[in-house]
Amino acid sequence: MAPLKFCANISWLFMELPEFTERMRAAARAGFRAVEAAWIYNADLKELKTVKDETGLEFALINTPPGDLNAGDLGLCAVPGREQEFRQGLDLAVRFAKALDCRRIHLMAGRVPAGADRSAVAMEMEDTFVQNLKHAAGVLSQEGILGLIEPINTRITDPRYFLHSPHQAAGILQRVSHPSIRMQMDIYHWQIMDGNLTQNIRKYLPMTGHIQIAQVPDRHEPDSDGEISFSFLFKLLEELDYQGYIGCEYKPRGSTEAGLDWVTRYWSDHD
């Protein structure tokens, strides 16, 4: 069984440092061979590429632009009437991904419009999502990039997020039916929304292109107190021969480096 591969999410880890480039260097010093990030579009792309080349880090994942965060956007892929903005954001994400040789883009679904009833807009939003994902599949397959959709929990993190369960995501993937669009499994969100992690992981891993982790309910390090036994889940993922990256998307309880014992132990146990 090959050891699991972990990447540092530099939108969450090494936040002691203000610049993405500094966080990349810190991640490399800590032993990570890859990083991921949410929105890197305000950073200097040339500097990101220089540091990537200097450190030898792989860029595992970026997100599509969120839209207008101040206006309440959190992605546009499932938002009716915003199709042109989604396509422009996708083009920008592809430009950054190609420059950084990043092979995965999280296509953020977005939120149910403020004041709207979820059930009343669900089918229109799903139809918009499917059409935008089919467009994205055409663009991404040309570039050898995987597009990912991630269910985000509506109980703690974001009550209005459209895509909220692995079962909903699987139905949408079935409609899109393209190998360039897969699922992003964030175990933190899955536990909050559905639990039943072992069976859900077994069921949905074949359609999964990326995994992220954090402890529940406080979203801290995997070895912090909480509901999930990550030692058990890591063994399960090894047994299932998961070959992709696992993104460390959690809030460190203290300094980032002080909370990395869990991953340094994993690395030393799997030398």
> Which amino acids are annotated catalytic?
150, 249
Cis link prior to 217 (omega < 30° from 0)?
yes
- CB-neighbour burial class of residue 269 (10 A; exposed 0-12, middle 13-18, buried 19+): exposed
CA-to-CA distance for 215 and 187, rounded, in angstroms? 8
Q: Which amino acid is at 60?
A: A
Give me the DSSP letters along 189-247. HHHHHT--HHHHHHHHGGGEEEEEE--TTT---TTSSSS--HHHHHHHHHHTT--SEEE
Q: Which helix (H) or strand (E) holds 185?
A: strand 181-186
Helix, strand and coil content of the chain, in percent to the nearest 5, comes to: 45, 15, 40
Nearest to 146 by CA among 95, 188, 106: 106
Nearest to 85 by CA among 99, 102, 69, 66: 66
How many helices (H) and strands (E) in the chain? Answer: 9, 8
Q: Which amino acid is at 135?
A: H
